[in-house]
Structures are given as C-alpha cells and as structure tokens.
Structure 1
Amino acid sequence: MPRTEAHLARHTNQKLKGVSFAVIGAIFWGASGIFTQTLFTDAGVKPLWLVGIRLFFAGLLLLLWSGVQEPRMFLAIWKNRHDAILMIVFAFLGMVPSQLTYFLAINAGNAATATILQFLGPVFILLYVAFATHQMPRRIDFVSITLALIGTYLLVTRGHLTGLSLAPAAVFWGIMAGVSQALYTLLPRTLLAKYDARAVTGWSMLLGSLPFLPQYVLHPNPLLTLPDFGAIAFVIVFGTMFAYLLVLGSLNYISPVATGMLSAFEPLTATTLAVTRLHIAFGPAEWLGGILIILNTLLQALPFNKIHHVQQRLTRQFSQKTKS
C-alpha cells in the first residue's frame, strides 16, 4: 500500500475510533439515567445515597486505574498547592453539583427531561463568557439562546400556556443541572492539561463523595435485590467510569467540536429508552423541545475554537487569582 494511502487509512481508523468512543460514552451516560430512574421508582433508592455510592466507587476505580497506568502522576496534583486548591474547587463546585442536580432532576421528573435540560449547559457557558469578557453575545449566540428557551418551554409545558407538565422541582433541578454542567466544563481545564484525566476525575469524585458519607454509612439502602445491584454497578462502571474515559479518550482522535456534537447521543438514548422501556409519555411538543435544546448545543459546538480560547484564558486568570 502506498504511503499516502496508508496514512489516509490510519487517519480514517483513528477518526472512526474517536467517533466510536464518543458515541459509546454518550450512550452509556444516557442509559445510566434510565437505570437511575428505575432505582428511584422501583427500588426506593434515595438520590443522595446513590450519588454518594456512584462518586465513591467510580472515583476509587479511576484512581486505581490511574495509579497502575501512571503511578508518577497519581499524587502529583497534591504536590502543587495551587493545583490542589483548584482540584478541591472543581470537586465541590463542579463534580458534586453536576452529579447531584442531575439525580435530583431525575427523581423529581424523569431521565429523559433531566438529560435534555442538562444540555442547557452551553447556554450558561456563553453567558458566563460574555459577562466575564464584557462582550455582547454574537448573533449565533442569540439564536442559540432563543432556541434553548423555546425548547425548554415546549419541554416543560408540552406547548400549553396554562401550566407546567413537569413538577416545578423537576424543572428547577433540570435547569440547575445545566448550570452545573457549565461549571463542570469550565473548572478543570487547567488540571486536565497537566495531569492524567483519570486522576483528575477520580480525585474529584472521591472528594465529592465525602459529604454523602453519612447517607451510605449511617443510612444504608434497605433490601436491594440482585437486579438492583446490577443497575447500581452499571451506573458506576459504565455510566460513570467508562463513559468519562471514553468521551475524554475520543479527544485524542477527533476534535472537541465533533465530540460535542456526538454527545447528542446521550439525550437521544435517554429519551428513546424512557419512551420504549419505561413507557414515559413524550408527545410532539416534548420531542420538538428536546430537538431545539440539542440543536442549541450543536450550534455552540460550531464556533468552538473561539469559545474554547476564551474559556482557557478565563481559566488561567482564575488559576492565577487562586494561586495568589
């Protein structure tokens, strides 16, 4: 095979690998929301208990993996005072809120709407960037915000002007999941650029599990069946550890733009499984609202380079303030 053809084949294989990683990771995330909902509704599992269990065991597994693969990077974060502080900030202002608000949104509503509302994250990112840089959002940003607002309205009201089709708590926690997703995206960029992603994610999860310790030590969940333990194992291993690693690993082969767009498989998976397996009613207004919210995410992915550059600069500024 000529060199150019071999290079092209290698490039195609790497791109296919990256796409596969991103899609499978997103599907794992979406499916874990369905398992979470069944644990809440059928097994009586409490959200705080499951968040604590998920963070503790997923964080422990990631740290063990990182310790075996990258032993020199395992404790490196804690040898740098500035990075250690940033890790603590990320754990309690990024990781914990993103996990907790998502689970509370599922508990108050359902996995499909919680996952879709979580995709409001890019809207809050662009609003933060506009505020921090003292610049008005671009035209495409206004279009994106408008689509997100219309989509959210359709999703939570089913197109009726008279009231909400979702419980107010489900709407509140779903929107907070979007805010938390923005924080989760913005905070760890400096750490991920310097350290092993498994160590960064693992330490943030393990630290984040500490506030929930009383929930799963002093108040253990009663009478779980074997299928319940299987669902918990899926949420921890596939819906958390492998999902994070696959999505982060996809960035080694494809651009962040492509990874961001392929993340749309998460709400698609959650919604499809919610309708087909859990028989949750999802009418035309909800489908249209979900599509508009996901479209807002895709629009934000298109001019990613500019936003990414600004986010990196803001992260460096934040890091310098923390260090000082």
Structure 2
Amino acid sequence: MSQKSRTTGLLLVMSGAVFWGVGGTVSQKLFQQYGIEVNWLVSTRLLIAGILLLAVQFLWKDRSQILDVWRNKATAFRLVLFGLLGMLAVQYTYMASIDHGNAAVATLLQYLAPVMIIVYTVLRKQAILSSRDIMTVILALGGCFLLLTNGSLAGLSVPMPAVVWGVLSGVSLAFYTLYAVPLLARFDSLVIVGWAMTIGGAALSFIHPPWRADLAGLPPEAYGYLVFVILFGTMLAFWFYIESLQSLAPKETSLLGSLEPLAAVLTTVFWLGEPFGLFQWLGTGCLIGMILMLALTGSRKGTGGAQQAADL
C-alpha cells in the first residue's frame, strides 16, 4: 500500500467522523433555533441520503447488488426490518435526544451500544465476561453518571426526555449492529445502508412527508445547515468511512472514528454555547476512553465500527 493511499484513507475517515459529530450539532441548531421538526428532518435526511448512496453504488460499484438484495424473500424481509427497527429507530431516537437536550449528550449516550452488546452476548452465553469487558462497563457507567449529573446526586443536569431518547438510541444501535451482520456479509455496505435509509425515510414520510414543510421563512444560513446535515453529515460521512476501509485496517477506522463524539462535544460547547461542567468533562473523558479502549483492543463481533455505520 502506498503512503499516498494511506494518507487519503486517513483524511477520509477523519473527515467522515468530524462530519458526523458536527452534523449532530448542526441538527440541534436547526431544531432549537429555526424550529425544524424532528420527523421532517429524519425522513428527509434518510430519503435523500439513501438515494444518493444507492446512486454511488450504481455508478461506481457492483450495481447488480441493488436489486439482488430483493430477490430472496428472507433477505428482503430482513432488510425491511433492518430499515424500520434498525435504521429508522436509531435515527429517530438520536435526533429526538438532540431535540430535547443537546448533540454532545445524545452522541455520548448512543456510544453505550457496544456495552449493551457485551451485556447481551454474555446473557445469551455467546461470550464470557472478560476483564476488559468489566473495565468497559465501569467506564461507561461512571462516564454516564458524571455526564448526566455533573457529579451531583441532587438531580440530572440534562433533561430526562433527552436521557431516555439517548439510551433508546443506544439500544437501537445495538440492535442495528447485531441484526445487520448477515446482510453485510452478503452485500456491499452501501447497498444495505442505502436501502435501509430509503425504507426508513419512506416509512416516516407517512407521518411527516418531506414535501410538506414550510421552509419559506427560513434565513439563507438555515438552508446551508440543512444541506450540511443531509449531504456532509449523512451521505458523505458514510461514503468516506467506507472508502477509507480500502486503505486502512478496520481497527484504525474505528479508532479515528472516535473523533465523532469529540467533535460533537466541542462544537456543542464552543459553537452553541451549551454549559458543560467539570464533572461532565470528566464523564466525557471516561466515555471517550471506553471507545478508544474498544477500538485499540478489538471488540466483540458486530461492535467494531457500529457507531460509524449508524450515524448517517
């Protein structure tokens, strides 16, 4: 592998991770400053990004897979469930957590998914609890306590609805990660994620169709934020991540993907001006440390790169 190819891979995965993290913060601004409705943004984001990813597959990769995935009834059924209970659930719960709280907390809570997978596999007796797993759980629980309480038992420093939606986002991501394994073993990631986004976006369109939105009163910068969330924070972020796998090891992409929560926290605090206490910073450090430990030591089947695949 040439040094140029490796450098390109590093730039791609780092750009994708930053796009994901900043995309959550920009979504928060759209919700809380411009009154954009969660259902509308999720359905629009999924539909447009899904169609664009399928277009990338059609133009530059094996286009036959786009329809092949539907030829087997069992595979098609799994794909529909993945789109509804996996992709749509992850996206909606994550965005709802941002809407009720902020992007930093929502992103960090979603990163509890690997811990939930560890607990699930141990309870199902599919794996034995290791010392590394115990340390992962301790970092996750301790980090969440500090993040959500800022070190005080008197009450939460984050609105309860944001916490509930954030934890549900982690649960959804755990399901998303485990349920996608058989599909990703047979078909390209762009095909599976592209169709899952399209399915999820189409389903939510029955509740809030993308074409029924009053955007006339938005200032020009709001349109720019919408384009960023849909194009950069969704479609390009995932594409860059997939392309980086051509020149980097999966462990490297997972490790560098940890820039996402850091980008979300920094932009939430310094761009949007959200208050963040000392203990919340310590909690953030614990959670990012957990992520780095999983990326460096390797994780159970299905947990590696889970967040990168779901933050679209």
- Structures share a fold, TM > 0.5? yes
Q: Which residue is 1:243 aligned to?
A: 237
- Does 1:166 find its partner at 2:187? no
Tell me if the contact between 1:37 and 1:110 (Cα under 8 Å) persists in the aligned partners: yes
Distance 2:63 2:12 in 1: 25
Q: Which residue is 1:187 aligned to?
A: 179
Q: Which residue is 1:48 aligned to?
A: 39
Q: CA RMSD in A?
A: 1.9
Distance 2:214 2:107 in 1: 25
Stretches of structure 1 lacking an aligned partner (at least 5 in a row) = 1-6, 312-324
Greater CA radius of gyration, 1 or 2? 1
Equivalent positions of 1:61-140 (< 5 A) are 61-69=52-60, 70-140=62-132
Q: Which residue is 2:209 aligned to?
A: 216
Counting matched residue pairs gives 301
Distance 2:24 2:49 in 1: 16
**Structure 2: which amino acid aligns with 1:32?**
G
Deviation of residue 134 (structure 1)?
A: 4.7
Deviation of residue 14 (structure 1)?
A: 3.3
Distance 2:168 2:66 in 1: 32
Q: 1:297 aligns with which of 291, 302, 309?
A: 291
Q: 2:191 aligns with which of 167, 192, 199?
A: 199
- Does 1:231 find its partner at 2:225? yes
Q: What whole-Å deviation, never above 9, does each CA across 1:40-68 have from its counterpart, x for those lacking one?
A: 01110111111011011111111222222
TM-score by length of 2: 0.90
Equivalent positions of 1:305-324 (< 5 A) are 307-308=300-301
Say which structure is richer in helix.
1
Distance 1:276 1:310, change over 3 A: closer
Tell me if the contact between 1:141 and 1:300 (Cα under 8 Å) persists in the aligned partners: no
- Does 1:265 find its partner at 2:259? yes
Q: Which residue is 1:150 aligned to?
A: 142
- Tell me, what secondary structure is at the counterpart of 2:274? coil
**Structure 1: which amino acid aligns with 2:230?**
I
Stretches of structure 2 lacking an aligned partner (at least 5 in a row) = 305-312
- Tell me, what secondary structure is at the counterpart of 2:154? coil
TM-score by length of 1: 0.87
Tell me if the contact between 1:51 and 1:103 (Cα under 8 Å) persists in the aligned partners: yes
- Tell me, what secondary structure is at the counterpart of 1:215? coil
Q: Which residue is 1:316 aligned to?
A: none
Distance 1:103 1:309 in 2: 23
- Does 1:32 find its partner at 2:26? no
**Structure 2: which amino acid aligns with 1:62?**
L
- Tell me, what secondary structure is at the counterpart of 1:74? helix
- Tell me, what secondary structure is at the counterpart of 1:163? coil
Tell me if the contact between 2:181 and 2:302 (Cα under 8 Å) persists in the aligned partners: no
Distance 1:217 1:46 in 2: 11
Deviation of residue 224 (structure 1)?
A: 2.8
Distance 1:230 1:101 in 2: 24
Q: Which residue is 1:320 aligned to?
A: none
Deviation of residue 104 (structure 1)?
A: 0.5
**Structure 2: which amino acid aligns with 1:237?**
L
Distance 1:171 1:310 in 2: 22
Q: What whole-Å deviation, never above 9, does each CA across 1:271-304 have from its counterpart, x for those lacking one?
A: 1111111111112111110111111122222342
